Amino acid sequence: MFADVRMIHPESVLFISLDSCRHDTASALTLQQRLPTLSQVGPMHQAQAPSHFTYGSHAAFWVGFTPGLAQSSTPWLNPKKGKLFRMDYAGSTGQDGNGFRLSGSNIVEGFSRLGHITIGSGAVEWFNPETETGDQLGRWFDYFYFPGNTWSLAKQLSWIDDRIASSELGSPLFVFLNVGETHVPYWHEGAPWSRFPSPCRPFGGKNCSSSESARRQQGCLAWVDQQLAPLVERFLGATVLVCADHGDCWGEDGLWEHGISHPATLTVPLWMRVRGQPV
């Protein structure tokens, strides 16, 4: 994978969303030093997601409202203070500094207008281009790939590798990747547990388990970190934003899974690196 070692243009952007990944999942693995790839991007921050389900958060991402730290005075970490991806009109001006100023319907079209080649892949069903809602998230890319299930990271990375290799030499890239292995049922290729039944389901049930959910999501995230290494390392001299779109409830206040507004679904991990500098 990633045999083509061409240099990535410094104005390129890699945006990764770890679907449904809870902050405490990433925090536990960071403390155990089991996220070496993501740790290269920068320090992990505890951020608030703009929504509690995939479509809502990605629709917000697409207009520059990425997860943020409301109490922070640092632009980009706090999008209210200053957005990394600033659309022509997206609320108060803030202190964007040398972020990316974009025009168009969303940031994907905005990067295309700047001359970036836009490459995207989404794993969860909200990105299915066969549905009208899924088409709204993926249709803006020059190249887009939906693998058909939430546990196909190897296929997604191989496809992205091919698109980068075939892109015009020297062109800046905007690459987006939605990772599904951290989404229920928390399973990855080669995992030493069965894909189903899921330990986390809406409204709970006899097979639901907070401890097993945590164990499996941590195992998936550690595996994902290893798989992401070649892609992330190529973009370390450019801009990298990695976050979750939301988390899951694991029995807190009697609630399970996502699509509900709760601290467990709204508190997410965030890593950021802008033009080669960790934030």
Do 179 and 20 form a contact (C-beta atoms < 8 A)? no
101 bridge partner residues: 86
* 3 confidence band (pLDDT: 50, 70, 90): very low
Q: What is the pLDDT of residues 22-40, one digit of tens each?
A: 999 999 999 999 999 999 9
* 90 confidence band (pLDDT: 50, 70, 90): low
The DSSP result for 154-211, as a single string, is: HHHHHHHHHHHHHSPTT--EEEEEEE-TTSTT---TT-SS-S-S-S--TT--TT--HH
Using only the alpha carbons of the chain, give its radius of gyration.
18
Burial of 241 (0-12, 13-18, 19+ CB in 10 A): buried
Choose the CATH number for 13-278 among 3.30.2350.10, 3.40.720.10, 2.40.30.10, 3.10.310.30.
3.40.720.10
Report how far residue 98's alpha carbon sits from residue 10's, in angstroms, rounded to the nearest whole number: 13
What does the mean pLDDT of the chain come to? 95
Report how far residue 7's alpha carbon sits from residue 205's, in angstroms, rounded to the nearest whole number: 50
Instruction: Pull the structure tokens for residue 166.
Output: 């075939």
Average pLDDT over residues 43-65: 98
* 92 confidence band (pLDDT: 50, 70, 90): low
Average pLDDT over residues 242-253: 98
